[in-house]
Amino acid sequence: MTSPHKHQQKLNLPSDVAKWFDSEARAFFQQLKLEKNDTILDFGSRVGNYAIPAAMFVGPDGKVYALDVDAGALDELVRRARFYELKNIETILTTGEVTIPLGDNSVDFILFFDVLYSLCRRQGVQAYTELLKEFHRVLKPKGRLAIFFGHYRELNLTLEELLDMSKAFFRYNGVFTAKMLHWDSFAHEKVHHFTKE
């Protein structure tokens, strides 16, 4: 039997999360074409499964805003970020509003992974359109948006409808299948990517 991973021991991370932080996330961010020094917004970051390795990837001159409605999840994110001595993550606790407290044209890349369902279940599908408008406002020209739509069928939405809504604001660059974390386990999921023209 292999010994538990060193990060699992100290942070009590699920084993896939520990592997993801240590190596696998880098390949994912390379696939996304995230760049060193980028400013990232991880909208609906939960405990930082993406925000933390993104902060490692963009480096000390980059920045990650981790935004969520869940104070406990953001506390855990901060605990993990401290362990990795990451000083380039800023958490943003909201009450679920789609208004993003960041300036116009201030972000290079937005991650929107598996948040659609909880957003629209509470606030209706219109909230997604309002959020796209905000994403467009905060992204820099040529800034990019990556989306894993998650459980959209449970909202009685089709992928085509979601893409049409998104294309009203962004150029659609296509979709790829990536090994990524879904909750705390590895899964192969579809990532749709967009650019602000």
Ligand X SMILES: C[S@@+](CC[C@H](N)C(=O)[O-])C[C@H]1O[C@@H](n2cnc3c(N)ncnc32)[C@H](O)[C@@H]1O
Strand partners, 67: 43, 92
Within residues 73-92, the interface with ligand X by CB under 6 A covers: 73
What are the residue ranges of helices labelled H in 59-192?
71-83, 116-123, 126-138, 159-167
| φ/ψ (deg, to 5) at 120 | -75, -25
By the rule CB under 6 A, 100 interacts with ligand X: no
Position with the least CB separation from ligand X: 44
Nearest distance, CB of residue 73 and ligand X, angstroms? 5
Is the Cβ of residue 96 or residue 124 nearer to ligand X in the bound state?
A: 96
Among 89, 119, 138, 157, binds ligand X (CB under 6 A): 119
The answer to whether residue 113 forms part of the interface with ligand X (CB under 6 A) is yes
Question: Least separation, in Å, of the C-beta of 102 and ligand X?
Answer: 13
| Distances from the Cα of 146 to the Cα of 40, 133, 156, 166, 170, angstroms | 11, 15, 22, 11, 11
Place of tokens 């604001």: 169
Task: Lay out the site mask for ligand X across 21-50 (x = CB under 6 A, - = otherwise).
Answer: -----------------------xxx--xx
